[in-house]
Amino acid sequence: MNKLIIFDWDGTIVDSTSHIVQSINKACYTLYNQTFEEKKIKSVIGLSLPVAFKNLTGLESQTEFNEFADLYKKLYIIERPRPFDGVVLGLDRLKKNNFTLAVATGKSRRGLDNDFTAYDLGKYFSDSKTADECFSKPHPQMIEEICANLMFDRTSVTMVGDSLMDQNMAKNGHVNFVGINYGASSQGDFDDYGNFFADSPILLFDWLLNNA
């Protein structure tokens, strides 16, 4: 039976966590003379950018958010993060073994499409949902729409992600979950909802091939 695997993007496919932390802190320091602890920033990775900004700074002005978003995006693309070692090979192995793959991410559509183009990764995914198209994680809308579009029963679906937002979205969407310990979170940050928690991309894709 064909299986669907839905991947988070930042910190799961792309090694971007530290770059996101640095870019957010540079933007906040430039605009507000303020920085945040790495752990606090990691806790909002996976949310849509407007929600992450509000949770992090407490600011609600649309003008302030627009200024932050413009600067953050400029800082982020100065040095675009690359996929984790082993990810491209892993995606290729899954496709060759007839898994259907999709993406559910807190990135914008433009940001995800730019990464698809930069690293030629779009060819692996049958569907994708972004934070400007759906409710922010952990709302399950992304999972619901991907399952509907690709016509999968949720018992055949696994969500893969590196944050509590991903885990809670999987829980809310009633699908299986596999956690990533090498992105924004470590295993101690997750609760016990999950089938496996991977310490490396190699272990992740080996497990998915044999168990998803």
Element (H, E) at 179: strand 176-180
Cβ burial, residue 30 (10 Å; 0-12/13-18/19+): middle
Q: Assess whether pLDDT exceeds 90 at residue 203.
A: yes
Domain count within the chain: 2
Band (205; pLDDT cuts 50, 70, 90): very high
Residues 108 and 45 in one domain: no
Residue that terminates a domain, selected from 79, 110, 126: 79
Q: Assess whether pLDDT exceeds 80 at residue 1.
A: no
Residues 38 and 103 in one domain: no
Q: Assess whether pLDDT exceeds 80 at residue 185.
A: no
Residue range of the domain that includes 27: 17-79
Residue that terminates a domain, selected from 40, 56, 79: 79
Look up the CATH number of the domain holding residue 45: 1.10.150.240
CA–CA separation, 147 and 174 (whole Å):
11
Instruction: Reduce the DSSP state of residue 102 to 3 states and report it.
Output: strand
Q: How far is CA 31 from CA 28, 65, 170, in A?
A: 5, 11, 35
Residue that terminates a domain, selected from 58, 79, 100: 79
For a pLDDT cut of 70, what percent of the chain falls above it?
99
Residues 116 and 196 in one domain: yes
Look up the CATH number of the domain holding residue 173: 3.40.50.1000
